[in-house]
Each structure stands twice: as structure tokens, then as C-alpha cells.
Amino acid sequence: MNAPTSQPAVVTIFGAAGDLTKRKLMPALYNLFLDKQLPSHFLIIGVARRGDEQNFRDYIKEGMTEFSRRGAADPKKWAEFIQHVTYTVGDFTSPKTFTHLAEKIHKFEETNGQSSRIFYLSTPPAVFGLIADGLGAAGLASDKVNDRIVIEKPFGRDLESSEALNNELLKSFDEKQIYRIDHYLGKETVQNILAFRFANALYEPVWNRRYVDHVQITVSEDVGVEKRGGYYETSGALRDMVQNHLLQLLCMVAMEPLVSFDADEVRNKKVDVLKAVRPLGRMNPHDYSVRGQYGPGTKDGLAVPGYRQETGVDPKSTTETFVALKLYVDNWRWQDVPFYLRTGKRLSRKLSQIVIVFRPVPHLMFDANASESFEPNRLIINIQPDEGIILKFQAKEPGAGMRLSTVSMGFDYEGTFTSSSREAYETLLQEVISGDTTLFMRDDQERVAWNIVEPLLEAWASRPSNAFPNYSAGSWGPEAADMLLARDGRSWANPMLIPKS
Ligand code: BG6
């Protein structure tokens, strides 16, 4: 994590009238301002096709009340902050938009000195190339250190389109100027996996195929596709969640120890993991995967629609809203240890959790009656909610004889630290402003991640499911996902809550 930089900064948000600006970007920038993590001289420029400065100010203020972790903005602080915010209406196809932007930035720099210039593309991917070209033509991409472009996912929709997009960006920007966001990498608990693994001597010796039986990664959501039916129809859970967030979590668990905390060192080690993933194309991808789509069901006792009834969704849609996968990482550390991944919308509850299930002890000397169901050790990393880590182990029950039961040792963020966890976007924006690429996806990471999911995209496209919908909203997904593990004599871990300290 970088200390706040003193170099002035200009953050330009393209697509400023959109949802992301209101929900995430502006609350994150405001919170950084409150925490004195922004340079004293900064300017935020919203660019969108419509609206005016006053509308924009009202819009983002509303966003604070609804979405900031600190709730409604304090009027005095807000008045100070809003002085740094300006708005420009502009068409991304017009060179004038970019020359006008360049003038604003130069004017700011005349008074405040050379700034780092962050161009955040919170727009549909179709215009990423157009905006990058416009910036290049206006001379806003030529400073290879200070000009930075931030791209939201989806970064393409397959290997070919992601390469094409990359080539478009590379016409104006160098790779080092491109910050591809995967917001999971900004989450405190995801970063803590590195601290847990590499700042403690205790776990590394058992972090391998000799002691680990298998790993489970669950990212479940209880919401449906909400207002994003149109986008989701072109994406599905494999592109929306697996290609990025779940594979990144896999990397954090499986990567080798780092030599240093250098951006390229971290990313090289992750690429090594992704390259070692056994290609699904070499096997029958259907044997290693399960797809699902939610039908109508209930949430908190209320009826909720199925995916095909959502706004913007084809009533005969074959888009998957659930994916379960079994992957192998073919290297010395992980050979033949299965990594089970699952993610889905409208599941029973919101939960992002990694479970490391250790092998049973080689010989159980206790009486067969000592335990009703002996459970090998498990380490549970809760990414969200109930952020924390639990170790489950066996203990003797008090009383006569030797009876065993499973007990837990837990660390919870909330009970341990007084400061509240920052939002992922706060961390990520601060890192871009500091010019640190560690938490961002490099082009080769994107490519290998697409390589992993591509055989499945092809297999599913060539055989659309005729069983959809195959799970009810509010459930834990299709039965076939349970079968994927049951075939190996395993089952999904029950979601674990962190005991409060
Ligand atoms: C986004 C996906 O990247 O991540 C969404 O596009 C999903 O579909 C979201 O809802 C989940 O993020 P989080 O932080 O709420 O787990």
C-alpha cells in the first residue's frame, strides 16, 4: 500500500453520469479526501454526453448518502471537496471533447504544477478504443509516467476481442500506463491473503499437495442481475466473474512466495499459476464444469423472478447465472489437488469464501466412537461479509473418556481493528494516483485468464443447455454442482460465520 503522493492529480471520469461513478468512484474519492489520502492539489473532471455541472453535483451527492461507507456527506467537508469537482459535456467521437479536456488540465497544471493524469473509462467497452484514440490525439497519452488510463471490465469477451482491445489501447498508451481493474484485488481481505501466507512461518510448510486435500472458492450473490440484464445477456457468469475475480482468488491461494513486493514480481507469480492450470480443452470440459440459470424463487420470504423474467433478458435465454468448476494447477506444489470454484446470482446468501481443506491425519489412534463425524482441519478465509479467518480443528470434549469435536479459532476484522475496512475502489484509485500497478491486471494475465475459460465458452456455446432454469432463486445452485464434488467423495463446505471476538 502506498503512502499518499504529494504530486497534484487530475482524475477524469469518462461516463461520469453512469452508475459506477455514483456508487463507487465518487464515494471512494470523497473518502480518500476525508482520510487525507489525496494530494492537496487535485481536480476531478466528469465527462459525459449529457447533463450539466449542477446535475452532476446533485447526482454524486445523492450517491454519498446511498453508497458511501460513511453515509451522507458532512455539509462543510462536502463544500470543500466539491470545489475540486468539475463537469464537461462531450461527445467521445469529437476531437473537441479532448482538446477542451486538455485545456482544462493544462490550466490546472499552470497553477499547480505537473500532475498525474488519470483517465478513468467508466463507459461501455465499445468506446474504450475511441476514447484512447481521442486522448492520444490530444497529447494526453504521451507522458509515459504521468498519463494513465484505467479500464473497467469486461476486458473483451474472449481471447480474440481482448487482444483486439489491447491493440487499440497500445496505439496511444504503453502497457505500463494501462490499469485494468479487477476490484477484487482492492479488497482488504484479498490483500490479506498475501500477509497471511507470507508474513507467517506457520502455514507455508503445509501449503501444498502433501497436506492440502482440496480448495474451495465460493463467490455467491443473493441478488439477481438487477438492472443489468442487457449487459449480463452478453456476458454470463463465466465471463462476468470466473475469468477475473475467481481466477484472481485462485492465484492468491496458489501462487509461490514472492521475492519482493514489486508490481511485476507479484504479477509474474500470478501468471505462473494461471499458466499451470490444466487446460480444460485437453479434457471433456463438461466433466469439469456445471452451469446453471436461476428460476423463480423466494428471498426473505418474498417471491422473486427467474432470470428469464428479468428486464432486458430474452425469455428463452441460455445465459448461465451460475458456474461451478473443477480445476487443477499442474505444478510441484499443487499437482492433483482439485480447486473447486463456484459462483452464481440469486443464491442463498452473499458470500465470498475460500476454504482450504487439509488431508486427514495419516492414522487415527482414537476409538471409533471418539467422534461422530471426524472432520479434517479446515482454514476458512472470509473475503466478505464477516471478514476474517477461521481455523477449524479437533479438540477433546470435557468429561470422561476421549470424545472429539470440531472447534474453531477465529480472527475477525471488525473485532480486531478499530478502523473500518476501506472500499476496494478507495485502494485501487489511490494506487493509480500513486502510479503503482501491482493490484491491476497486466495484459498477459488477461490473456492467460481468457485461455483458461475459452474451451468452456466454446463448449457451452456449441451445446446450449436445454435444462435451464435449473436452480431456484434462494438455493445453493443446481444439484449438479453438488454432484461435481460428490463424484470425488467431497461436498461443499457449509458457509461459516466468523465467531466475533
Ligand atoms: C462485478 C460483476 O464485477 O462484481 C457483478 O460484474 C457482481 O455482476 C460484482 O455483482 C460482485 O462484486 P462484489 O464486490 O459485490 O462481490
Residue 501 has what pLDDT?
47
Name the active-site residue from 100, 106, 245, 286.
245
Distance 366 CA to ligand 1 centre (A): 46
Per-residue pLDDT of the chain (501 residues; tens, 9 = 90+): 566 778 999 999 999 999 999 999 999 999 999 999 999 999 999 999 988 889 999 999 999 999 999 999 999 999 999 999 999 999 999 999 999 999 999 999 999 999 999 999 999 888 999 999 999 999 999 999 999 999 998 899 999 999 999 999 999 999 999 999 999 999 999 999 999 999 999 999 999 999 999 999 999 999 999 888 999 999 999 999 999 999 999 999 999 999 988 889 999 999 999 999 999 988 888 899 999 999 999 888 899 999 999 999 999 999 999 999 999 999 999 999 999 999 999 999 999 999 999 999 988 888 777 777 778 999 999 998 888 999 999 999 898 888 888 999 999 988 888 777 789 999 999 999 999 999 999 999 999 999 999 999 999 999 999 999 999 999 999 999 999 999 999 999 977 555 554
- Ligand 1 atom 8, closest CA: 240
- Ligand 1 atom 2, closest CA: 240
* Amino acid in the structure at residue 441: M
Contact indicator for 308, 314 with CB cutoff of 8 Å: yes
- Grid cell listed for 400: 470422561
Residue 499 has what pLDDT?
52
Please give the DSSP secondary-structure letter assigned to residue 23. Answer: I
Residue 1 has what pLDDT?
59
Residue 210 has what pLDDT?
97
Which ligand 1 atom lies nearest to the CA of residue 245?
3
Q: Is the CB of 423 under 6 A from ligand 1?
A: no
Distance 364 CA to ligand 1 centre (A): 43
- DSSP H or E segment with residue 295: strand 294-295
Please give the C-alpha separations between residue 122 and each of 22, 35, 125, in angstroms, as whole numbers: 11, 24, 9
Instruction: Give the residues across from 89 on adjacent strands.
Output: 48
- DSSP H or E segment with residue 354: strand 351-358
467: left (phi over 0), alpha (psi -120 to 50) or beta: alpha
As a whole number of angstroms, the distance between CA 382 and CA 186 comes to 15
Q: Is the CB of 240 under 6 A from ligand 1?
A: yes
Q: Which of 390, 393, 396 is nearest to 406 (CA)?
A: 393
Q: DSSP secondary structure string, 112-147?
A: H-S-EEEEEE-S-GGGHHHHHHHHHHTTSS--TTTE
Rounded to a whole number of angstroms, the CA Rg of the chain reads: 24
Q: Which of 239, 500, 272, 252 is nearest to 383 (CA)?
A: 252
- Grid cell listed for 166: 489491447
Contact indicator for 453, 239 with CB cutoff of 8 Å: yes
Active site residue 183: no
